[in-house]
Chains A and B, each alone.
Chain A
Amino acid sequence: MSKTKSTVSKALAKNIRRNFVERLIEWALMLSGLIAILITFGIVFILVTESIPFFEAVSIKEFLTSTIWTPNFEIKNYGILPLVAGTVTITGIALLVAIPLGTITAVYLSEFASHRLRETVKPILELLVGVPTVVFGYFALLLVTPLLQKIYPDLPTFNMLGPGIVMGIMIVPYIASVAEDAMRAVPMAMREGSYAMGATRFQTAKTVVMPAALSGIIAAYILAISRGIGETMIVAIAAGQQPNFTFNPVESAATITAYIVSVALGDLEHGGIGYQSIFAAGIVLFIMTLSLNILGQWTRKKFTERY
């Protein structure tokens, strides 16, 4: 009798310890999750509090509708539109380059390339992700723009076209890699089904594999757009840092990130309205990427395929 009792209490003690450890792990996991959330909230908090003084001096209406951004001039104007236009134009050019190139690369690697070729090419492609963006910036300024000037001599040294194209090249591996993963995740059984119907490789890729991987491919595009909007160095170096309200790719311009970096480099004194303006610009950038991420989540949910 006493023997059974002792085993029971031993088992109970073990249980208590196990429950305690379980609880501890649970808390640790929750804490690490919380840290990420807290940091995000911290960023939003700082963006908002720091830009309050800015919006006390500059009305939101002016900020959102004025087409002149001249924080360094005698007569200061704070209209975000020129920076948004620069961001949208350069990102747009980049996507025109990166989406076709990245998608085609992904389709080739996933559906046509031999196993060996794919295992060789993909790591090389992903190396491109590791190239510092400063290098891409000078690549745009010193190589791509001069080349473009041979075709179009009136192109100014600082323009949106060159950095846009180079940004596109930089983004290609992001799209190719994520989209290729998505296409490779499509079960072989589905491809076999298509081949068994007498379809060619290309027909299978186009009409079966790509639709099946659509959510992943769209996620790749959205990741690329976010990456483009957030890109700083290429634009700061090669686009001219002149806030012009224009969507014309052969003109020079500044983007939101390029403006923020120029202020951070010390063009404007700390504490002034000009300095505060980078937080207002930051909010706009934050909202742009946040809405893209939400859009990405939404498309992902909407187009998720069950195999």
Chain B
Amino acid sequence: MVKKQEIIKAESKEFNFHYADGTHALKDINIPLYEKRITALIGPSGCGKSTFLRSFNRMHDLYPGNKYAGEIILYPDNTNILDKKVDPIEVRMRISMVFQKPNPFPKSIYENVAYGLRVRGENNKRLLDDKVEEALKGASLWNEVKDRLQDLAYNLSGGQQQRLCIARALATDPEIMLFDEPTSALDPIATVNIEELMSELKKKLTILIVTHNMQQAARISDYTAYMYLGKMIEFDETDIIFTNPSKKETEDYITGKFG
């Protein structure tokens, strides 16, 4: 299945998820994330893609009653992200996330990017300046905002706001970045910008992305998992999923017969 010599960065093993209302949203999911690769999750609405993604930084902890079972192992240190003893805040410091709708904070551009470092207690002005510049460059936003870092983040356009959120997530040097349909609220040009940015980012870190847009998954990802009704139907290299899937359900979805 995986021909190239790949390093596993994280892996879900027999992962199950129950929402507080009892919904069994994810069933025995086994998906590896390869280091410095983009893994895409595709599937019809309600199939559990976002639920799965949000388990990687324990976002479900915010709402009482949600239950995880199985493991999500983070390598190289073999940490089980879901372990009760593992502090979700620690997890979120290593695995950052970009949301569907840009959600900048009601602060300046600078403070938005510096936020993650500030909550870690970093107040050294010079270090913050450097990190903010580096992150904004990494999110290819620096040239557009370098003269107005103290402006309110809401004054940016939607696409710029989303790149600001990427810069915010980058500033803390995460190992994995999660993207939950990052371009679904953006226009086509902003979408292209974000996609190019992701291809750039994977040189440094591992990416997991949920997308409704199959062309997007085909364009940017190295691996793709097709999910349906809380189950992982097929996982493989993106080329194989889109040209020669081994399961009939995957093929039906890819070719548009279903979904």
Contact = CB atoms under 8 A, between A and B. Distances in A.
A197 B119 contact: yes
A192 B105 contact: no
B89 A189 contact: no
A32 B112 CA distance: 46
B62 interface: yes
Contacts of B76: none
B119 A198 contact: yes
Interface in A191-213: 191-200, 203, 207-208, 211-212
Interface in A151-203: 187, 189-200, 203
**Majority SS of interface residues in chain A?**
helix
Contact of A190 (B105, B116, B118, B172): B105
Interface size classification for chain B: 20 to 34
B106 interface: yes
B115 A207 contact: yes
Contacts, number: 71
Interface stretch (B3-11, B92-100, B124-132): B92-100
Nearest to A196: B97
Contact of B105 (A115, A195, A208, A214): A208
B148 to A, nearest CB: 17
Interface residues of A, number: 23
Nearest to A201: B62
16 contacts: A115-B64, A192-B62, A193-B104, A193-B168, A194-B115, A195-B92, A196-B59, A197-B119, A197-B168, A197-B172, A198-B90, A207-B118, A208-B105, A208-B106, A211-B106, A212-B105
Interface of B: 57, 59, 62, 64, 89-90, 92-93, 96-97, 99, 101, 103-107, 115-116, 118-120, 154, 165, 168-169, 172
Interface of A: 114-115, 187, 189-200, 203, 207-208, 211-212, 214, 305-306
